[in-house]
Structures are given as structure tokens and as C-alpha cells.
Amino acid sequence: MANDTCIRLQADIEQIKSCREKLKANSKSLLQLGKVLALTGNEVRLKMLFLLEAGRRK
């Protein structure tokens, strides 16, 4: 994300900087969430995880 070039005609540089800072500040959480979501892999796995979690709540 080192590239500071934006091709939008009316780019809001401050908003872009703010978004980059938010992503950087939350990178660890986003990485962990991405790994969890990657585990689901497909609809069947997601359904299995859903049912397992629902069973834990009973």
C-alpha cells in the first residue's frame, strides 16, 4: 500500500490516508478473521460450523 497514486478526479487524500491507517491498525484482526473465513471454504463447511456453534449455545 505504499503507492500514493489515485486516479479519481476528486480524490479525498485525507480519507485515503485515514482508511490506510484504519487498515494498518486492524491488520492483525483482519488477518485472523481472514484465516477463520478461509477455513469455511465452501457452503457445506460453513453450514457445519453454523450447526456446531448453534449446538454449543444450547
Task: Give buried/exposed letters for 20-42 (b at 16+ CB in 10 A, else e).
Answer: eeeeeeeeeeeeeeeeeeeeeee
pLDDT at residue 8, rounded to an integer: 73
Could you report the per-residue pLDDT of 1-58, keeping only the tens digit for each?
456 666 777 878 888 899 999 999 999 999 999 998 888 888 898 898 889 999 887 7
User: Rounded to an integer, what distance in angstroms lies between the CA atom of residue 39 and that of residue 53?
Assistant: 15
First to last CA, the chain: 44
CA atoms within 13 A on the CB side of 53: 6
Domain limits, the chain: 13-56
